[in-house]
Structure 1
Amino acid sequence: MILVLGATGKVGRALVPALLDAGAGVRALTRDPAKARIDPRAEVVAGDLGVTEDLPRLVDGVDKVFVLTSGHGRSGAAQEAAVAAAAASAGVTHLVKLSTTGVHFGQQDPITAGHAEAEQAIRDAGPAWTILQPGTFMDNRFAWRRSIITDNAVYVPEGDPSSALVHTRDIAAVAALTLTTSGHEGQTYQLTGGEALTTEEQVAILSEAIGRPLKFVEEPEPEARERMLGFGWPQSAVDGVFDLKRESADNESIVFDTVQRLLDRPALTFADWAREYAKNFSA
């Protein structure tokens, strides 16, 4: 039995069916099973990783755990350390953690530092471990949806770096592989797409996919911050994004061949993603 944390999130929603298709038993965690849309073949359980008393019940009878939390910085690291400890006590044999390439590059922003701390907790817990370190998700470009629908425009901070964006289905496919086959214990895998694209190139690809022209607008940081705050983001989240951007600027364009090497196929492209989700950018 494999426990999937974050089963309704960007990676988890693709990972659960991938594991089931591979013949694995899956226990999918969600805070509200009544609202969750999870593959009916999975065992769906309710729980909150912030409530440590829930953890023994969640890991009982589980062999492996996909570790992903919604917390950031120290809060996420504390949750993941608690999960690792509970899993070790329950006899779990393998932990697979979703982290970030920022740890590989030694970034010091709060988001990356939290993942680095959590990685160490996973390594120290006792069970075998595998660490997945993806770069920027293609799904992050859903943040452009509002301005595309209202203004036919994409607003980005000045100096936004080129990025080797990775499709969440590729991350899920690698996670499923590491959870259902041997030989990945003690490995740390950096995951990116197969090419680095400038933000302007991404906008052009998305424009072609949705079938209408889009303006590409670079904003000074103060204006970009105000726009994010207008989305309802807390100040700490906005600060974290800009800290991360500054730290990762020189690393985002680095391409790793891990997806192709492990899955024996090319990584999905941003054009694939844009065609898949084009309808999401229409009113």
Structure 2
Amino acid sequence: MSKILVTGATGNVGRHVVSQLAEAGLEVRAFARDPERAGLPVETVHGDLTAPETLEPALEDVESVFLLWPGFSTGNAGEVVATIAKHARRVVYLSARTSGGGSHYEEVEELIRRSGLGWTFLRPGGFAANTLGWAGQIRQGVVRWPYGPASRALIHEKDIAAVAVHVLTSGGHNGAAYVLSGPDELTQAEQVRVIGEVIGRAVHWEEQPLDEARERLMEAWGEATFVDSALEAWGSFVDHPERATGTVAKLLGRPALSFRQWAHDHAADFS
């Protein structure tokens, strides 16, 4: 039986892709920088997409690849896609819900289109897991952050993984680009309130001035272009909310997991 190679196998989404494929009894190979520490229930090989020479051995007997591109530029993506195309038949690429403008996600999509591989693109919007960045502030009872009225339909990482597994294990998805979201359109302030309700703690939103937010993000990320792009994107959701798509429910035949369910699943991370 041909194997499925999962890159990004130790990440929020990849770990669930691996476990769900394994539970379905499929042959899975996980691609990880440190296999011994990965703790995955499948064959795990050493690899790093920024070192393409590690990819070719991992592709032996592989038919399909779940691809998560690391970083925020295309880098050596062309070489990676070409290597995959030499060995595999199809790729499911975890892209992103973008508004155009030549992002690295779109550049990698174009490389895949030109590769000769069969492909499916998964384009989730905001990840619910990104709110884990507020965990320290939530423990203190106040989240100080910009754009409290910005509204998004955050998606549970388990749903992204479930869609990936569905696409990898069923037909009819070649050439499709699926825009994925959660079912709830919540402002950032409402997201904080829901987390507080789930963990049984009063948590309040405090609007942070943009210059202060930018300074903090520069300290954390160190890349001005990326910081400004992130702030601009968050601000855009105030007047143009990210809408729920319903795609998860259509593909999986069940409702997408709610943000409240995600908060229950991660309650310990906020306690």
- Normalising by the smaller structure, the TM-score range is over 0.9
Is 1:73 aligned to residue 73 of structure 2? Answer: yes
**Conservation of the 8 A alpha-carbon contact between 2:151 and 2:237:** no
Pick from 13, 16, 19 the counterpart of residue 18 of structure 2. 16
Alpha-carbon displacement from aligned partner over 1:169-206 (angstroms, at most 9, x marks no partner): 00000000000111111111000011211112111111
State the distance in 1 between where 2:20 and 2:209 align.
41
CA distance 1:124–1:48, change in 2 (3 Å): same
Displacement over 6 Å in runs of 4+: none
Give the Å deviation of 1:221. Answer: 1.0
Other-structure match for 2:63:
63
RMSD over equivalenced CA pairs, Å = 1.7
Gaps of at least 5 residues in structure 1 are none
Pick from 233, 241, 264 the counterpart of residue 221 of structure 2. 233
State the distance in 1 between where 2:149 and 2:108 align.
28
Identity of aligned residues (%): 41
Give the Å deviation of 1:159. Answer: 5.5
Other-structure match for 2:49:
49
State the distance in 1 between where 2:223 and 2:80 align.
28
TM-score by length of structure 1 reads 0.89
Other-structure match for 1:122:
112
CA distance 1:114–1:248, change in 2 (3 Å): farther
Other-structure match for 2:90:
94
Pick from 193, 204, 208 the counterpart of residue 197 of structure 2. 208
CA distance 1:19–1:122, change in 2 (3 Å): same
CA distance 1:249–1:53, change in 2 (3 Å): farther
**Conservation of the 8 A alpha-carbon contact between 1:100 and 1:133:** yes
1:1-283 aligned at under 5 Å gives the runs 1-39=3-41, 42-75=42-75, 78-79=76-77, 81-90=78-87, 92-102=88-98, 105-106=99-100, 108=101, 113-149=103-139, 151-158=140-147, 160-230=149-219, 232-236=220-224, 237-246=226-235, 252-282=241-271
SS of 1:44's partner is strand
State the distance in 1 between where 2:241 and 2:60 align.
39
Give the Å deviation of 1:32. Answer: 0.7
Give the Å deviation of 1:73. Answer: 2.5
State the distance in 1 between where 2:147 and 2:237 align.
15
State the distance in 2 between where 1:122 and 1:160 align.
36
Alpha-carbon displacement from aligned partner over 1:43-101 (angstroms, at most 9, x marks no partner): 100011111222211212210000102211233xx33x3222111112x1110000111
Give the Å deviation of 1:34. Answer: 1.9
**Conservation of the 8 A alpha-carbon contact between 1:24 and 1:180:** no
State the distance in 2 between where 1:38 and 1:252 align.
37
TM-score by length of structure 2 reads 0.93
**Conservation of the 8 A alpha-carbon contact between 2:46 and 2:54:** no
State the distance in 2 between where 1:250 and 1:54 align.
45
Give the Å deviation of 1:227. Answer: 2.8
**Conservation of the 8 A alpha-carbon contact between 1:15 and 1:173:** yes
**Conservation of the 8 A alpha-carbon contact between 1:22 and 1:180:** no
State the distance in 2 between where 1:64 and 1:247 align.
36
**Conservation of the 8 A alpha-carbon contact between 1:135 and 1:252:** no
**Conservation of the 8 A alpha-carbon contact between 1:136 and 1:252:** no
